[in-house]
Amino acid sequence: RRPPTRLAARPAVRTAASEGARLEGFSGRVNRAVAALLGEEPTARVRRAWARLDAGEDHELDLDPSHPLMKQLASSYIEGLLAKPWHEPATRQKWAKKLEKEWTVVRDELAAALADDGKLEAEGNNVWAGAKNATSAAAYGQGWKTLGLCDRTVWDDTNAALFPRTCELLHRAKVPLLEAFFAKMPPKSVIGPHSDMCNFALTAHLGVDVPEGECSLTVGDGTREWRNGETMLFDTSILHEAENRADRTRYILMMRIYHPELTSVERQALQFMFDCLDEPELLDDPLALKEYPERRRAVEALSRRPWEAALAAKSKRGKATQGFGRK
């Protein structure tokens, strides 16, 4: 049976009246559905965070009042998670070791795409998009751009197929991905102090094409230089800023991953909440709720198919080229 492209059976037909009724009490319905699906006690921290977000409560913590950047800010906040600027070394994580060992796969694939930037723009989906909102644009600037590969564990059909070896490496390394995308920072630019306002996800950077010695990232009270082929892991709910002092663009592979102190059940609860935001009708589909874990795995597997097919096609072309002219 072909895996579903959606979790719920079909989108509900929405009118202005039905939409208003749906939104009324939506937060409470999601909260109750999470408890029913995964248990009240194992999901308590996540459901409290959801309630605070719905109530508009922001978290603010001075980690070191003597330093202006040693402050944690979050609107999506789960209590009890370790708050520190840097999680070092990143290679304590097995997936980071694997990425560093094979990082040239990512470098070479990006370089090939950038060599024909016009083709990339024409074939890709929302290639080199800017900041999503005015607040982010104010911090990141107009020149900071991204090329998305994976969002909330689901691969982008178009872009992932343009970078199949990178996606295969991320998948094979078992990176606990929430998101993955290339990010470029223009020459002679800065990113001002800001928080990403979420403490249950950490951010990882893999240096791909970096003017070494001329690019730095400061998180809290610590500053690090980007290095090609090296991974950095840090907490972007803590104020951070960046600078590219070079005369050329800096490229990295950026990943959002779950905070390692979250339990597996809490990760499932967060994913379910994301899915309810994307497909509110999921709450009205009893069969989809009953089969949620299986459907979620099927959706993720289906999203891998484009880059798996592209990878197989590249491998086939490579074998054909190697065999050309042989008897």
Cα–Cα distance, 89 to 192 (Å, whole number):
25
pLDDT-based confidence at residue 52 (cuts at 50, 70, 90): very high
**If you search the block for the tokens 């009205």, which residue do you land on?**
284
What distance in Å separates the CA atoms of residue 118 and residue 88, rounded to the nearest whole number?
Answer: 38
- For residue 285, give the nearest of 275, 297, 274 by alpha carbon: 275
pLDDT band at 131 (very low <50, low <70, confident <90, very high): confident
pLDDT at 63: 98
CB 90 within 8 A of CB 231: yes
Segment 247-306, tens digit of pLDDT = 999 999 999 999 999 999 999 999 999 999 999 999 999 999 999 999 999 999 999 999
Cβ-contact 149, 165 below 8 angstroms: no
Query: What is the per-residue pLDDT across 7-18, written as a single tens digit (0 to 9) for each?
Result: 776 555 554 444
The pLDDT tens digits of the residues spanning 204-214 come to 999 999 999 99
pTM above 0.85, yes or no: yes
Instruction: Give CA–CA dist 277/275, Å, rounded.
Output: 5
Residue 72: both structure tokens together: 């944690």
Does residue 106 have a pLDDT over 50? yes
Looking up tokens 């102090």 gives 193
DSSP state, 228?
Answer: B
Q: Is the pLDDT of residue 4 over 70?
A: no
pLDDT tens for 157-197 read 999 999 999 999 999 999 999 999 999 999 999 999 999 99
Predicted local confidence at residue 256, as pLDDT: 98
